[in-house]
Structure formats: structure tokens, C-alpha cells
Amino acid sequence: MRGLREFLAFLEAEHPEEVVRIRQPIDPKACEATGFQEYLARRRRYPWLVFERVIGVDGSPWPGFFATYANTSIRRIAIAFGLDPSKCTPADVARKHADALRRPSSPRLVARTEAPVKEVVWRGGEASLAPLPFFRNAEKDSGPGWITPMYVARDPEDGRYNLSWHRGQYVDAHHMTARFVQGGHFHQFFQKARAAGKPLPCVAVVGHHPVFCDACGTNFPASVDEYEAVSGVYQACTGEPLRVAPSELWGDELLVPADAEIVLEGYMLDQYQEAGPWSDFWWSYLPPQRMNQFRVEAITMRREPIFLSVWPPTEVEINYTSVVLDLLRSAYPSVRKVHLPFPQTLIISYRPSAPGEPFHLAASLFRLGPEYVKNIIVVDEDVDPFDLEQVFFSLATRVDARKRVQVVPVMSHWNDPSATEETVGGLIIDATRPSLDPRFEIGKPPAAAIERAAAYFSEEVLARIPMGSRFNW
């Protein structure tokens, strides 16, 4: 499963319940794709949606497909990571990703003729953004439309690659904006090029295998070549090396993902435009921001390309989780699971070795910065952090707020709507058992009784029983 469409074909063959194809015509820039997502989410359904009839910014029919982000359910991410959901848990997904972070590998260079993303090539004036289905997610998102690509760029000084996500707004047929994180690696590359009086060569990638997409969202150390880091995660999860090919504009000097759906080649300019509002990961709107302009000079794509969109509030976060898990395991071997269900909110399951240690563990995570964490809940090893019912049960029965809650000043995140100053209150809740007091023992039927019930219920019988929360339907 090298790319997005290969993964789509696999799902439709082996897990058809994961994909819904929409044959009704839609206009992505009128929020119609997310209208389908929102309707289904209100009914607790999160399939991968593939729209077969869409229009571009200019109103012309798009000659391919438009898809929502595949990583909107942990089950689908597990499948993409090569796991069998019937034989693993959500925690195994983060564990596999964390293990892969330690195994970088070199991508495999292939010729242009072997790269599916080169099936269609537009250069010069033909390389127009106008036919592409830029989109809007929320009612007050600015227009005419947005794109959420993964950029590939090289350090102008040492040649290291950076791969990272940067959203942008359509400007005209040959320009779109790109939103940088100040101080991020891609921004540092741009600053070096700017200091040399040159635009930064880079490419924007739209659509690839979910593992590639997830790995591009991982914050790797500055010294790491991210093609090798992303390739390591990709190979560990798919069993195949990441394939790259020469770009149209720079050849071997800047390599592109060979199995992507669409690649936009061009230059990041020292020119700016205001773009926004935009509905971000925090669910609320971010105000208009000053963004760089990206000038497109070549576009390559597959035949009938899949234009991949992202609506941040629907995304299941796994790369931050795996980084936290990898960091904690060396210092706290008894850490079992880590979950990030909402922005800046971590739930950690482990076995404390001493009183007060949960606070020490939690406080150590604030050094990761506000992008990762503001709120931390620590629970016992027998509590599943992916089951919020169990988490809230721990809060109700194991927490004396006078003793087990701390608020510490930490740096605020620039997107956090609750932050009005440079610092914000970082919350730590120790929801582990205060002691081995028998009052904390959970009453359950004996294992033999549960095994007797398991022998009675066949998969066919279980399939007829509705599954869901006790508190909602």
C-alpha cells in the first residue's frame, strides 16, 4: 500500500465499512464536504468520505476525487499502521509509532517514469491552481478556499530535509498563502534563504498514505533529516520504503514523494498576504493572520487525483502521543498508555513507584512546550486513558482536589482561545490511588463467570446487540 489510493482500495476490499463514497455533486468551497462530516459525527459515525463529483475554485469539474482526512478514527489509523484492530488496542498504535521514531531509513530514489505522481505534468502558465478544489470547512472560514498540504523543503545551508504541514489560502491561479509556525524548522529554512536574498524552493504535497501524512506532523529534532525520519515510520508501518523522485524544477536537488497524489512545486516568497479566519484544532476560529505567499511553477499529479482535505477538529492525534510516550518510557518504564483526546490535554496511565511521583512525571512534560500540553491527568495502570468513562470514574473516586490538583504557570499557545496572556495555568491532576487502601479495590465478577458468558455470545449474537456509550445514543 504505497499511497493514498492503494490504501483506499485495500479498505474498500477488506474493511468496506470504513469508506463511504458520495456521488452527489458538491462544492468544497461552500463547506459542503464538512457538512457531510458534521451530519455523520452528530450520529457518532466517522467514516472516510470520498466525493466523486466536485468542482475547483474556478467552478470547473475536478478530474479526480475529493476526500476527507483518513485519520479521523483510531481504528482506521490502526489499519493504516499495519495492525489488526481485533487483536490490538488504541494504545498499540501510539506504541508502534513511538518505536518507529527510533528507526530512520533512507528513502528509495526512483526515476520520474516510475513515479505515479508524474502521470500528469503542468508547467509554466499551465500550472494553474484554479482547477483545484480548494475548500472551506466552517461557515466563517475566509474564501475563496483553503488547502492543507505537507511541505518538503531543504535547509539552504546543510541540505537537511523538513517535512511539515502548513495550511494556505487561495490567492490567484499561481499563488497561495502558507502559514508558518514562528521558529519552526521550515520557518528557519525560509529565514536562511531570505537572508541570502533568495526565495526558498519547496513543494506542497496533497495526498499520500495516512502513515506518511501522520509522520509529517511529528516534531523531529532539528538535527534530523526528516525524509529519513518519515521514511523510517513509513517503512515500519507499511513494510515498504518511502519512494522519492526528482522534482520537475530542481531534479535531484529537491526530491518529491513519488507515490503522492498531487505535488505543487514552486518558491516560498518574501511576500505576504492576510488570510483567515480559519477553524482550527481548537474548534474555534483563528483570526486573520499575515502569511507568506507560495508561487507555484509546476504541478504534477496522478490521473484522477485524490485531493485530500483536513478539518482539524475531526483529526485523531497520534504523532504527539507517540512523541510523549517515547519521551516518558526511558524515565518512567511503568508508563503503559498515553492519550491526547483534545488539544493540549494528555491522559497518562502508569504505575507510580513513590508518593508524589505523578506530579513529577506530569511537570516534566511541560518542557515539550504549549503545542503539546496544558492539561495532564495521570491515572493508574488499570485505567484505560482511551476510555473517558474510566478516566472520569478515577476523577470521581480517587481525587481529593485539595491535595491531588496543581496549577502551575506555563507558556500559553498562540491558538488557545482561553489564553489572554503569555502564560496560562497548566493543570495537573493526580488521579492515581492514594494508597493500597482496600476501599479502592474495584468490585468485578470472577474471571470464570466472565469466561462462561464469553462462551455463550457468538460474534453473530454480539453483532445484533447495539454498541455505544451508556450515557448517549
* Rounded CA separation 32/329 (Å): 43
pTM of the model: 0.93
The full set of domain ranges for the chain reads 4-314, 332-434
φ, ψ for residue 267, nearest 5 deg: -130, 135
Write the CB contacts of 103 (distance below 8 Å, at least 6 apart in sequence). 232, 235, 236
The CATH number of 4-314 is: 2.30.110.10
CB 383: neighbour CB atoms within 10 A? Answer: 24
Topology given in CATH for the domain delimited by 332-434: UbiD C-terminal domain-like (3.40.1670)
pLDDT bin (cut points 50, 70, 90) of residue 12 is: very high
Q: What is the pLDDT of residues 166-214, one digit of tens each?
A: 999 999 999 999 998 888 999 999 999 999 999 999 999 999 999 999 9
Ranges assigned E (strand) in 249-404: 251-257, 262-275, 278-279, 285-286, 289-301, 306-308, 335-342, 345-350, 375-379
Parallel, antiparallel or unpaired: strands 289-301 and 120-123? antiparallel
CB 386 within 8 A of CB 339: yes
Sheet with 243-247, side-by-side order of all strands: 108-109, 243-247, 251-257
Q: What is the pLDDT of residues 414-426, one digit of tens each?
A: 888 888 888 999 9
pLDDT at residue 275 greater than cutoff 70 = yes
* Rounded CA separation 184/166 (Å): 11
Which pLDDT does position 438 carry in this prediction?
74
CB 379 within 8 A of CB 431: yes
CB 218 within 8 A of CB 318: no
pLDDT bin (cut points 50, 70, 90) of residue 473 is: low
Kindly state the DSSP code that residue 54 receives in the 8-state scheme.
B
Average pLDDT, the chain: 94
> How buried is 458 (Cβ within 10 angstroms: 0-12 exposed, 13-18 middle, 19+ buried)?
exposed
Q: Among residues 182, 238, 188, which one has the least CA distance to residue 213? A: 238
What is the residue type of 93?
Answer: V
Q: What is the pLDDT of residues 213-236, one digit of tens each?
A: 999 999 898 899 999 999 999 999
Mean pLDDT of 69-96: 94
φ, ψ for residue 95, nearest 5 deg: -65, -40
pLDDT at residue 305 greater than cutoff 80 = yes
φ, ψ for residue 243, nearest 5 deg: -100, 135
* Rounded CA separation 414/409 (Å): 15
Q: Among residues 239, 249, 217, 248, which one has the least CA distance to residue 230? A: 217
End-to-end alpha carbon distance in the chain: 35
Write the CB contacts of 277 (distance below 8 Å, at least 6 apart in sequence). 140, 141, 142, 285, 286, 287, 288
Q: Among residues 198, 117, 121, which one has the least CA distance to residue 154? A: 198
Q: What is the pLDDT of residues 128-156, one digit of tens each?
A: 999 999 999 999 999 999 999 999 999 99
Asked if the domains 4-314 and 332-434 are classified in one and the same CATH topology, the answer is no
Decide: helix, strand or coil at residue 372: coil
Q: Among residues 303, 304, 336, which one has the least CA distance to residue 321? A: 336
Sheet with 65-67, side-by-side order of all strands: 19-22, 48-51, 65-67, 306-308
pLDDT at residue 43 greater than cutoff 80 = yes
